[in-house]
Structure 1
Amino acid sequence: MASTTPSQATSFTTIALASTGVILTASLAYAFYFDQKRRSDPEFRKNLKKQHKKISRQDQEASKAAERSQKDRIRKSVDEANEEGFPKDPEETESYFMQEVARGEGMCSDGSDPVEAALCFYRALKVYPQPRELIGIYDKTVPKPILDILAEMIAVDPSISVTGSRAGSDAGSDKVE
């Protein structure tokens, strides 16, 4: 009886190793077959190229559709923000500015929706008296993807003047005393 116990354990190990060997051999044989077919069969290569082109085309179309939908979303967000309006009172404007900048920074740090984060910075920019100066600050502090979305928002809204007119800083220089 002592001789039957070790042979059963050996036969299980032998069966497991043999099964693993057969599976491994079949996998390698299929890999060699596929490689040989890929290298020598022109029709097979043509089909692979067609599949690759088809997948590439689908990826390009999907990325273009995603880009269009994001641009539409940006336009819609800017239009909604302009329809809501902005505060006119200086104290309300200051608190609104601080609130929107804080919301935008919070959204940037927690990884929220980048369009919403950019919209917060856009709203703050709309009420800031010197937008060009604020854009310079944003350029140093806001992450690049959100800054790119903000640039698209600024391009959509022609009412934000980002050109360099410094009328307020040189107002008294022409006076002679």
Structure 2
Amino acid sequence: MAVWYRNALGVVCGVAGAIFVGYCLYFDHRRRSDPNFKKKLRERRRRAHRGRASGGAVTWPNLKDQEAVQKFFLSEVQAGEELLAQGEIEGGVDHLSRAVAVCGQPQQLLQVLQQTLPPQVFQLLLHKLPSVGESILQAAGGGKEGSKVMEEDVE
């Protein structure tokens, strides 16, 4: 009886495995034959590439053009919120730190962010601010002296 039970169990496992493989092949074929598959795949890759590329060089706005600064600020806050909502902490903090760097009243923005962000995310944001301040000063043509002022302003 034990031999019969083993054989039956082996056959059931084999059939279940074959059904699972068939199920996977069927839905893979169906997914690939979808007319929008390549379009969706390209868009997903483009978004992923854009997310990785955002950590690199930043196109800072002209700090004398208030409208450009405001547009940049709003887009960075929105991008930071979206990335944080998706669980991409590093990317979200990068965008939020850029928003703080161009903000006209960074102390008030930092107070709001401290109340809304989890403590570890807020600490990461605070650690990121000096390097972002240095980056914006370099883009604006400033030097190391200006970055000390920015660091003191943040603390």
The TM-score by the shorter chain falls in which range? 0.3 to 0.5
Kindly name which structure, 1 or 2, has the bigger radius of gyration based on alpha carbons.
1
Query: With structure 1 as the length reference, what TM-score do the two structures score?
Result: 0.42
Query: With structure 2 as the length reference, what TM-score do the two structures score?
Result: 0.48
